[in-house]
């Protein structure tokens, strides 16, 4: 663990807005309140990973492709041993993203700057235009207090639609990367980290598993 300082908000702020477990589509209420909170700060990641009194804000970006038949595919990968969060190694994921760093704080919009930086570090992709209106790409907020990783993170879920399934992993620890159909995601849901499981259930359940 490095001494990187990451964006956090006190857990009590999230609870005061309205506690939930799982997924909430109320982006307007949660994101705006969290990102504008007076108590938002940048603290050592090594400390924050074990301190549930704070939540680290994490952009969690899904890349979606619809084929000619209208079937949705999501980009997915397996987390290798070099990924920062050791507790998620060998788990599959549909989310690209990471922490907002103090290095992003000098930008006009640290959240968007951090999100862009993480995407550029991890993948390359072809899309129309990435919308600078962050809210326009958001579909919800993730909170999962069922495990130690979730207790110290809040996910902000974004969807970017791509015209072709051309997303490519840059980072060597994004293993077996590629697009899977919604059916494949549902059938393999137990292989995914809990945030991804929550989103797959939100988007594609009930979907018959063959």
Rounded Cα gap, residues 82 and 172, in angstroms: 8
Q: How confident is the model at residue 187 (pLDDT cuts 50, 70, 90)?
A: very high
Query: How confident is residue 133, by pLDDT bands cut at 50, 70 and 90?
Result: low
**Mean pLDDT confidence for 170-179:** 91
For the stretch 46-96, pLDDT in tens is 999 999 999 999 999 999 999 999 999 999 999 886 555 555 558 999 999
Residue with tokens 């084929």: 67
Calculated CA dihedral for residues 85, 91, 94, 95, nearest 10 degrees: -10
Quickly state the pLDDT bin for 157 (edges 50, 70, 90): very high
The mean pLDDT of the chain is 89
* Residues whose CB falls within 8 Å of the CB of residue 7, separated by 6 or more in sequence, listed in order: 40, 41, 42, 56, 57, 99, 100, 101, 102, 104, 105, 110, 111, 114
Domain 5-204 classified CATH 3.90.79.10?
A: yes
Residue identified by tokens 């390359």 is: 124
* Mean pLDDT of the region 148-162: 94
> What's the pLDDT band for 110 if we cut at 50, 70, 90?
very high
Name the residue ranges covered by the structural domains of the chain.
5-204
Give the pLDDT confidence of 5-26 residue by residue, as tens digits. 999 999 999 999 999 999 999 9
**The pLDDT of residue 81:** 60
């Amino acid at each position: 663990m490095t001494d990187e300082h990451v964006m956090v908000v006190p857990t009590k702020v999230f609870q005061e807005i309205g506690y939930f477990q799982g997924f909430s589509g109320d982006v307007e209420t949660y994101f705006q309140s969290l990102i504008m909170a007076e108590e938002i700060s940048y603290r050592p990641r090594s400390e924050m990973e074990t301190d549930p009194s704070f939540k680290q804000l994490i952009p969690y970006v899904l890349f979606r492709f619809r084929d000619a038949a209208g079937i949705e595919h999501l980009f997915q990968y397996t987390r290798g041993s070099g990924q920062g969060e050791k507790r998620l190694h060998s788990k599959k994921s549909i989310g690209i993203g990471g922490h907002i760093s103090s290095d992003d704080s000098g930008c006009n919009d640290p959240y968007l700057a951090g999100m862009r930086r993480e995407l550029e570090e991890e993948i390359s992709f072809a899309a129309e235009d990435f919308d600078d209106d962050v809210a326009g790409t958001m579909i919800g907020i993730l909170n999962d207090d069922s495990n130690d990783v979730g207790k110290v993170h809040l996910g902000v879920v974004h969807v970017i639609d791509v015209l072709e399934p051309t997303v490519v992993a840059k980072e060597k620890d994004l293993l077996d990367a590629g697009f899977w159909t919604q059916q494949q995601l549902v059938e393999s849901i137990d292989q995914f980290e809990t945030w991804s499981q929550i989103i797959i259930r939100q988007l594609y359940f009930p979907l018959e598993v063959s």
